[in-house]
Amino acid sequence: MPETPKSTKFLKKALFLDRDGVVINYIPYLSRPEQVQIPEGAGQALKNWQNEDYLLIIITNQSGVGRGRFTLEDVESVHERVCEIYQPFGVEFDDIFLCPHHPDDNCQCRKPSGEMLVRAAEKHGISLADSFFLGDAPSDLEAAIAAGCQPLLVLTGRGQTTFQEIDQYPVKIPVFDKIADTVILLNHDPN
C-alpha cells in the first residue's frame, strides 16, 4: 500500500549501497582490510548525497562467512577500513546491514530479499518510496524492487553483466557508469 504524502513528510530518505563493486572495488570474497580500495570519485559523490540529507546505509551479502571462507570478525575489520577510507571525505555511513548466510540456508535476509532494506527503514525511520538502492548485481536491483525503493545500477563491479539483463525488470532502472555520476539525481526535484 503506497504511503500518503502526510505519512512520509517526517520520514528520512536513504541511499542504500551495495558494498562490493559499489562502495569498494569488487574482489570476490574480499576478507582483508588491506584489500579495500574505493572507486574514483566515490568519496565526494557520497558526501554530496549525505549533504542532501540522505542516510548512507550499506546492504551486503557476505556468504563467505556461511561458506567458511572468513569470519564475522574479518567482515567487521573490512567495514572498519571502509569507514576509515571514506572519513577524509567527511562521509559517515549511518549503518551497515549484512547477511552472513550461505545461499542454501534459505534465510529471510539475503538479497534479493528486501528484508535488510525493510529492517533499515524501520530502524531509521526511512521512507523506502523516497529512497534509492545503488547496486551492481541482479540481487541488488531485485532487493530494491521487493522493498519498494528505486533501484539504480552502476556499471562497476558486476554491473556490466547485470546491464545485459536490465530489460527483464518491471521498473525503469537508471544506469550510471560510476558512483560519481549518480549525483545528477540530486539536481532534479521529482515533485
pLDDT by residue (tens digit) across 70-109? 999 999 999 999 999 999 999 999 999 999 999 999 999 9
Check: CB of residue 14 under 8 Å from CB of residue 59: no
Residue 149 has pLDDT above 90, yes or no: yes
In a domain, 2, yes or no: no
Nearest of 171, 174, 172, 170 to residue 185 by alpha carbon: 174
Active-site residue, from 18, 104, 130, 189: 18
Provide the mean pLDDT of the chain: 94
Active-site residue, from 20, 94, 140, 181: 20
Check residue 4 and give its pLDDT.
41
In this structure, what C-alpha cell is assigned to residue 144?
Answer: 530494491
Check: CB of residue 152 under 8 Å from CB of residue 15: no
In a domain, 36, yes or no: yes
In a domain, 1, yes or no: no
Q: Which domain holds residue 90?
A: 10-131+143-185
Is 18 annotated as catalytic?
A: yes
CATH label of the domain that carries residue 119 = 3.40.50.1000
In a domain, 3, yes or no: no
In a domain, 136, yes or no: no
User: Which pTM was predicted?
Assistant: 0.92
Nearest of 124, 72, 73 to residue 99 by alpha carbon: 72
Which run of H or E residues covers position 16?
A: strand 13-17
Check: CB of residue 135 under 8 Å from CB of residue 151: yes
In a domain, 4, yes or no: no
pLDDT by residue (tens digit) across 28-74? 999 999 999 999 999 999 999 999 999 999 999 999 999 999 999 99
Is 167 annotated as catalytic?
A: no
In a domain, 37, yes or no: yes
Check residue 126 and give its pLDDT.
98
State the total domains in the chain. 1
